């Protein structure tokens, strides 16, 4: 049975964190950098795998210098793969007490918009509005989400914005 190239890549991306941990190649900085390079190169599955490997290498050390960067990078990669899951996991990260900023909400919301996941971007923007009332970054993000939703003509997200009182 021949595997398609896409399926092979997905399988490799899923196995990479296990391989890296098993081989002891668990430098969180290098893995986080590799994840960032993959994300910037448009390879979200590879980026997700690299960020997960970095987080695995850190273990339970949420104070590790790369923890927040790898966690946010992982969610950014997920935004391109599974937008609703990305929102859930980002909000769980926020609720965990991680030192997230309003800028982190903006980064993830932009990834969601790039992935045409406008309803998910609205959800995340709304949560950010609640957590950072009066934030200049959140005001700008709200304006950008509204403009992008209108530009893309996403009727479901427009109704959502209207129901939340943004339109």
Residue by residue, pLDDT tens for the chain (167 residues) are 454 544 455 444 554 554 444 444 589 999 999 999 999 999 999 999 999 999 999 988 888 989 999 999 999 999 999 999 999 999 999 998 889 999 999 999 999 999 999 999 999 999 999 999 989 999 999 999 999 999 999 999 999 999 999 98
Per-residue model confidence (pLDDT) at position 11: 47
The 10 Å CB-count burial string (b at 16+, else e) for 50-60 is bbbbbbbbbee
**118 and 152 Cβ atoms separated by less than 8 Å:** yes
Measured N-to-C along each axis, helices 67-81 and 28-40 cross at an angle, to the nearest 10 degrees, of: 30
**46 and 54 Cβ atoms separated by less than 8 Å:** no
Angle at 74 between CA 68 and CA 45, to 5 degrees: 160
Q: Where are the domains of the chain?
A: 1-81, 95-167
């Amino acid at each position: 049975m021949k595997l398609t190239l896409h399926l092979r890549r997905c399988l490799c991306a899923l196995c990479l964190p296990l391989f890296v941990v098993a081989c002891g190649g668990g430098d969180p900085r290098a893995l986080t950098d590799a994840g960032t390079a993959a994300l910037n190169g448009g390879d979200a599955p590879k980026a997700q795998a690299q960020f997960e490997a970095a987080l695995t290498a850190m273990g339970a050390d949420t104070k590790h210098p790369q923890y927040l960067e790898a966690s946010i990078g992982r969610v950014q990669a997920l935004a391109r793969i599974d937008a609703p899951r990305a929102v859930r996991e980002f909000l769980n990260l926020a609720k965990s007490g991680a030192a997230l900023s309003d800028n982190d909400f903006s980064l993830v919301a932009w990834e969601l918009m790039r992935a045409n996941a406008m309803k998910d971007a609205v959800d995340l923007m709304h949560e950010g509005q609640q957590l950072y009332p009066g934030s200049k970054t959140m005001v700008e993000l709200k304006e950008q989400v509204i403009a992008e939703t209108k530009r893309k003509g996403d009727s479901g997200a427009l109704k959502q914005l209207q129901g939340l009182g943004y339109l």
